[in-house]
């Protein structure tokens, strides 16, 4: 069904248009008419049209003005202008308004019908697009919660989640660089500052998760994480790198109102811990702060800044700078890590109460923590005794400048070792595999045998071997065996059958076929050519 609005101050023209459209499209159309600009706007509000045939010259509001008014509340109408005035300015203005056709009176029946059909096709396309958009949105409503849960899961559980950070922020349309975490805890009742029956509450949470998600996103523009025991974590993207006192109070107020609504709609008690604003790359720290806030207070909602034991460092400690230092190292960004190290050292030098011993302890802590994280990220070898000289090295530095150079050198060294470690490890695996194949190619060895020897899975070994050698395992093994066969064929004391066995093949016929495939001749013909 198409709703068509006809606007013309001539009654004969209106009746003629209406009759032509009705006689050809019948029940497909619902037609309304108007004889003035004011009436056409009112009709367009009362009966929103799909298509509008509009005369330009009408009493009161002109057709062009009426189109402008209608487009303010209905931008999808397909407009067709009909006028007795063939004026360029009208046509130009009609194009600017997105009018589909500009027809000059008198208009014959064929042109009206063709224009009507063209407008109907355009309406159909708009409706189809709207329908497709709704289907996509419907599917996204199912998928987005899974992506949000995956993102928050990665933040909390994977040290190298920054690898996928850009993918997640693009998928979830996150433009902010900062954010904070809210940890929502639920249970049956409060006992000594702890919500009871965590296991039972966690099981019940599956039933109220969708309601929880809806309420949480009413109060915060946030991502909602998965159910983790009797907790659900919210990530709230944030424009600024910190929140002031007023904004912090507003966040706590919103959280309190959210808890109140949750408890009205869901048969559980709720508590919230809120962490500080962090860069998204280090927002896991905000989660840890939110957990501390929950642990250190019996209040329904508490911000980490309001917890006495979690107050800031005496002075303004550069938490984000320390976090960026570790993150740049894990990203193998030597220049970025060195820049952070320089900045942190400069900050320490500016603290009036910091002694040389304090500096030694802090840079030792930073370096050792970075090495440990690099080890757990699987990108660097690690051994406790690697660091036995560190304290002596620090104590032997002549001055603060020497300590700074030690810090920078160690930072540079960690980044370099991370860059080289995996590549060297992979090369050593391939060298070990080659050595094993060269020593055992006469036996019936398989990909599984070699991958077991180098202690990695067959699938990963196969990809790594092809990547490093340019050949797959079978191609490489065949090349080694045929090289041996060619050398043995130059010695006439061995028979073809003996050469076959010494080259790793148990079937002489198969050996002959493989040899010919690669060499172009059989083993016997190859030997003949040598004479």
Strand partners, 80: 53, 101
Q: Would you call the peptide bond into 106 cis, given omega within 30 degrees of 0 as the criterion? A: yes
Query: What is the rounded distance in angstroms from the CA atom of residue 215 to the CA atom of residue 250?
Result: 17
- Residue 376: predicted pLDDT: 72
Distance CA 238, CA 273 (A): 17
Nearest residue to 231 via CA among 243, 247, 216, 219: 216
- Long-range Cβ contacts of 485-493 (<8 Å, 24+ apart): 485/511, 485/515, 485/523, 486/519, 486/526, 489/523, 489/526, 489/527, 489/530, 490/530, 492/527
CATH (residue range 174-310)? 3.30.70.270
Please determine, for residue 1, whether its predicted confidence score (pLDDT) is greater than 80: yes
Helix axes 356-376, 400-440, angle to 10 degrees: 20
What DSSP state is assigned to residue 386? G
For 204, the token pair is 């019940």
Q: What is the pLDDT of residue 397?
A: 92
- Of the listed ranges 57-66, 283-292, 351-360, 375-384, the least confidently predicted one is 375-384
Domain boundaries, the chain: 2-129, 174-310, 319-421, 427-530
Mean pLDDT of 254-283: 92
Q: What pLDDT digit, counting tens, does each position of 153-211 carry? A: 888 887 556 666 778 888 888 999 999 999 999 988 776 666 767 777 778 888 899 99
pLDDT at 309 exceeding the cut of 70 = no
Indicate whether 424 pLDDT > 60: no
427-530 matches 2-129 in CATH topology: no
From the centroid of its chain, how far is CA 21? Answer: 52
Q: Is residue 461 pLDDT above 90, yes or no?
A: no
DSSP 182-235: EEEEEES-EETTEES-HHHHHHHHHHHHHHHHHHHHHHS--EEEEEETTEEEEE
Superfamily of domain 2-129: Response regulator (3.40.50.2300)
The pLDDT score that the predictor gives to residue 298 is 67
Which residues are CB-neighbours of 348 under 8 A, at least 6 positions away? 354, 358, 359, 362
- Terminal Cα distance for the chain, rounded: 92
Q: Centre a 10 Å sphere on the Cβ of residue 44 and count the other Cβ atoms it contains.
A: 24
What is the pLDDT averaged over residues 40-60?
Answer: 89
Q: What percent of the chain has pLDDT over 70?
A: 89
Phi/psi for 60 (5° steps) reads 80, -120
Write out the two tokens for 152. Answer: 């928050």
User: Which fold would CATH assign to domain 427-530?
Assistant: Arc Repressor Mutant, subunit A (1.10.10)
């Amino acid at each position: 069904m198409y709703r068509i609005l006809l606007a013309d101050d001539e009654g004969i023209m209106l009746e003629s248009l209406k009759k032509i459209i009705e006689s050809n499209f019948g029940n497909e159309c619902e037609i309304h008419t108007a004889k003035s600009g004011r009436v056409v706007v009112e009709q367009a509000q009362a009966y929103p049209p799909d298509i509008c045939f509009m005369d330009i010259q009408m009493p009161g509001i002109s057709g062009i003005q009426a189109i402008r008014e209608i487009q303010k509340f209905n931008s999808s109408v397909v407009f067709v202008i009909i006028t007795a005035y063939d004026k360029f300015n009208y046509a130009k203005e009609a194009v600017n308004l997105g009018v589909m056709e500009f027809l000059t009176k008198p208009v014959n029946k064929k042109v009206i019908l063709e224009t009507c059909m063209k407008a109907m096709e355009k309406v159909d396309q708009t409706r189809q697009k709207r329908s497709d958009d709704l289907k996509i949105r419907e599917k996204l409503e199912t998928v987005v919660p899974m992506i949000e849960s995956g993102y928050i899961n990665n933040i909390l559980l994977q040290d190298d989640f920054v690898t996928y950070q850009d993918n997640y922020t693009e998928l979830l349309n996150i433009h902010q660089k900062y954010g904070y975490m809210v940890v929502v805890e639920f249970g049956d009742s409060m006992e000594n500052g702890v919500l009871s029956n965590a296991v039972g509450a966690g099981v019940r949470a599956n039933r109220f998760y969708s309601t929880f998600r809806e309420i949480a996103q009413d109060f915060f523009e946030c991502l909602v994480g998965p159910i983790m025991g009797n907790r659900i974590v919210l990530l709230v993207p944030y424009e600024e790198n910190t929140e002031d006192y007023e904004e912090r109070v507003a966040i706590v107020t919103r959280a309190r109102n959210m808890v109140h609504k949750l408890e009205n709609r869901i048969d559980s008690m709720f508590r919230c811990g809120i962490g500080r604003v962090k860069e998204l790359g280090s927002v896991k720290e905000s989660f840890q702060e939110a957990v501390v806030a929950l642990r250190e207070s019996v209040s329904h909602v508490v911000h980490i800044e309001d917890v006495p034991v979690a107050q800031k460092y005496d002075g303004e400690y550069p938490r984000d700078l320390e976090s960026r230092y570790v993150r740049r190292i894990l990203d193998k960004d030597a220049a970025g890590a060195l820049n952070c190290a320089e900045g942190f050292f400069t900050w320490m030098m500016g603290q009036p109460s910091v002694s040389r011993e304090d500096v030694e302890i802090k840079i030792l802590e930073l370096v050792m923590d970075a090495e440990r994280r690099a080890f757990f990220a699987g990108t660097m070898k690690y051994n406790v005794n690697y660091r036995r000289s560190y304290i002596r090295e620090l104590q032997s530095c002549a001055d603060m400048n020497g300590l700074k150079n030690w810090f920078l050198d160690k930072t540079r060294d960690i980044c370099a070792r991370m860059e080289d470690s995996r590549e060297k490890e992979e090369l050593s695996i391939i060298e070990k595999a080659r050595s094993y194949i060269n020593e055992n190619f006469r036996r019936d060895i398989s990909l599984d045998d070699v991958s077991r020897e180098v202690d990695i899975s067959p699938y990963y070994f196969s990809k790594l071997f092809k990547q490093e050698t340019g050949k797959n395992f079978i191609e490489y093994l065949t090349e080694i065996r045929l090289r041996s066969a060619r050398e043995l064929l130059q010695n006439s004391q061995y028979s073809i059958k003996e050469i076959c066995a010494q080259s790793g093949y148990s079937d002489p016929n198969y050996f002959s076929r493989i040899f010919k495939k690669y060499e172009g001749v059989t083993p016997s013909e190859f030997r003949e050519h040598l004479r």
